[in-house]
Structure 1
Amino acid sequence: MNHELAWVWKWDKLEVELNVSSTVADFFNEYRQKKGEHERGGQLFVDVNSEDGLWLSEATSPHKDDFAGPTWLHLDPKRCKKEILTANQQGLILVGYWHTHPESIPSLSPQDISSFRKFSLKNVEYLSCPLAVIVGNGQNADSIRAWSLQSNDFILGSIIKNNFNK
């Protein structure tokens, strides 16, 4: 697959870089949570077969069967399973999930931490390096943040190259 770069997230402790495609960045931008809206989210898939590194190449859309409120979200397990099978057939691998927050620079809430740990345990056969992305309601790449769950600790990634909103 040929991807156009939006930005790169890096986790120093993990010595990992994740290229974010402009398609995924535009998708996140489209779903920023506006005042009064409920949280929305979906799953994240990487393309590990690209010659130029690891790419976050797909984020799935919010689904009508998800349960959500202004500050919480539960993804429908049936749709999640279907999305994983479809993505695997396309050579993509599940790495985690994304959701929105009603704040400019998002942070992990206690609910996020609990939900993501449950999601990781439920999908342990697919997830080797679980990723949580929260899309804030700011207008730049810094309002979209990513955490990797490692040894029961959440590590925040930093943007090291940014071609988004330039």
Structure 2
Amino acid sequence: MTKLTDMQLILLSTACQREDGSLLPPPDSLGTQAARIRKAVEALIKKGLVAEQEGMATPQAWRTDADLVIGVVITDAGRAIIEPPMADKAPASEAEQAPAVPTPTAGRVGTKQAQVIDLLKRKGGATLNDIVETTGWLPHTSRAALTGLRKKGHAISSEKVEGITRYQIATAA
């Protein structure tokens, strides 16, 4: 799969919305970053996601050759990235269309993240200091790891016991 920058994705998305498929003029959301836009468009041309086209209007000019105005338009390959082709299958049921709730993923064994999960699964959970001591991370890194685990689908609860916050993962009974 082709990796694209945010700017490249914005340019391709804007081109898909235009009837002529032109990347230029760039959308207002990109501001006045002419050098970065030029670099992004050059990369898209090299990847074959956009192509130069002669006879464009002046606001759509990528470059000029004497009196000829050359613009840049999205190719079918570029459209396929922004608007993936629909598979030949029946319409999805409502259950399939609902946003997916992340399920906890099994991490690699022996990693610091696995150690944190083990700490959180024990009876009474773990304090921030427990996590810091076990992993050697700084407190802000430990809190970020807790956030990352939540994003991965782990149900982490916290409660204050005698002024100290304890974090715990709910385990299946």
TM-score by length of 2: 0.21
| Rg (Cα) greater in structure | 2
TM-score by length of 1: 0.21
